[in-house]
Structure 1
Amino acid sequence: MSATTDAETEPDRTPGTSLLEVENLDAGYGDLQILTDVDMFVDSGEYVTIVGPNGAGKSTLMKSVFGLTSHMGGVVTFADEDITGLIPEEIIHKGIGYVPQNDNVFASLSVQENLEMGAYILDEVPQDALEAVFDRFPILRERKEQKAGTMSGGQQQMLAMGRALMLEPDLLLLDEPSAGLAPDLVDDMFDRIDAINDDGTAVLMVEQNAKEALRRCNRGYVLANGKNRYVDTGDALLNDPQVRQDFLGG
């Protein structure tokens, strides 16, 4: 099966029906443009992965959805509402959670304090959401009084995801969730992301471990030089000879 290029129309898609839609996006940092005419969508409950070489603009695309870059053109729509140009705090209110790759926990705060910070926009911490996070990540319940900065990399990643889940977002953005993890912890991290998605939360993920990410996701986007190169199901991208040769190491 040949992967779909950005110049082709995906046959089963009706524009305007997706949870998240990115259309003709130009974005970057200051005056430096990184993304050019990028298109992307995520349906409700879907699991979508963005892969590509270093410097392709993957994290920039993620940050652009969350209002962390300079918008230069195009439109970002979430739940039928134009969120182009909104600041992150406003975007959180719309139902999007974001877990950055680096500096994603408050090192001097306890685990529970970190989770409570995930609900800072509310008048009080939702105890049912807190319990749901503890049920999903039992190690966080065990370590709830521990300072986040003293936890392992894998535990900090779970804490960062747990904090983003405190507001029960409709869409969870994950930037390189397996980065820096020991090899034996990577599969466990992906299993936890699968479970979050299985429970109904849509996931948009940038991931360096492209083959494993594409095996697990519904659809994937391949970016190169800030532009769409391919989009198709994860399996189709994995099995496309050109994609494998150019982006997946054969």
Structure 2
Amino acid sequence: MSDRTPLLELASLDAGYGDLQILTDVDLRVDDGEYVTIVGPNGAGKSTAMKSVFGLTTYMDGTIAFRGDPIHDAESSEIIDHGITYVPQSGNIFTSLTVRENLEMGVFTEDEFPQETLEMVFDYFPILEERQQQRAGTMSGGQRQMLAMGAALMSDPDLLLLDEPSAGLAPDLVDDLFDRIDEINDGGTAVLMVEQNAKEALRRCDRGYVLVNGENAYDGPGRELLDNQEVRQRFLGG
């Protein structure tokens, strides 16, 4: 484990929604350029942990820090300015806008349009360049997910948060999507992902966390968790 200040660190985090506490004493870290996955059973608090990073839950106790600076009291707009973007599981594109307009919305607060970043996004997702004038609502599920990730990358974030990116996709599209996420991470963007396809996510990531009932259960290198017999039997179907 690195002794350097983590890019992102959750320490003893308690969080939930209103008076309902979901997370209890959760610890998690992501280092610069790292690819980290959160897995666990339904209702384990995976998405709550991710939403907490982006200021979308009720903070109760503990710390969320980005590059050592506490952000648990920050608004989502401020968190974006820190260098974090978030792709929710659903409702993550503007269906009435074109592909190009969706990408432009990813940087609507910036004074100058980042043409170089747009080219980077097109390198990751060539279909977006081909379909720039297509209405986003007419795209397939896989294409919409690529557009949502492309828009999130337009601000060139240090950390990309992905909530269940493969949900609802046909099996033949899932590997392709994971390949694109690998490429984004290889390009230097740290990734924190919540994913239902736990085996594939752990196979590809640097490190993983298993949450159960809103608490840390296991953590370690993705491959080690994948090979852990207890983790496999309890959470990965053997």
Q: Secondary structure at the match of 1:123?
A: coil
Q: Could you say if the C-alpha distance between residues 13 and 129 of structure 1 is closer, same or farther in structure 2, counting changes exceeding 3 Å?
A: closer
Q: Counterpart of 2:16 in structure 1: which amino acid?
A: G
- 2:175 matches 1:167: no
TM-score (norm 1): 0.94
TM superposition shift of 1:120:
1.5
Q: Give 4+ residue runs of structure 1 displaced > 4 Å after superposition.
A: none
Q: Give the corresponding residue for 2:71.
A: 83
Match of 2:209 among 221, 227, 245: 221
Q: Which runs of 5+ in 1 are unaligned?
A: 1-11
**Counterparts of 2:118 and 2:33, CA distance in 1:** 22
- 2:23 matches 1:39: no
Q: Counterpart of 1:215 in structure 2: which amino acid?
A: R
Q: Secondary structure at the match of 2:208?
A: strand
Q: Give the corresponding residue for 1:128.
A: 116
Q: Give the corresponding residue for 1:107.
A: 95
TM superposition shift of 1:13:
4.2
Match of 1:231 among 202, 219, 226: 219
Q: Counterpart of 1:232 in structure 2: which amino acid?
A: G
Match of 1:74 among 62, 73, 79: 62
TM superposition shift of 1:84:
1.2
Q: Give the corresponding residue for 2:193.
A: 205
**Counterparts of 2:67 and 2:203, CA distance in 1:** 27
Q: Secondary structure at the match of 2:62?
A: strand
Q: Counterpart of 1:169 in structure 2: which amino acid?
A: P
TM superposition shift of 1:135:
2.1
TM-score (norm 2): 0.98
Q: Secondary structure at the match of 1:37?
A: strand
Q: Counterpart of 2:173 in structure 1: which amino acid?
A: L
Percent identical pairs in the alignment equals 70
Summarize deviations over 1:147-191 as a string: whole Å, max 9, x none: 101000000000000000001000000000000110000000000
Summarize deviations over 1:100-138 as a string: whole Å, max 9, x none: 001000000000000000001212321211122122211
Aligned length: 238
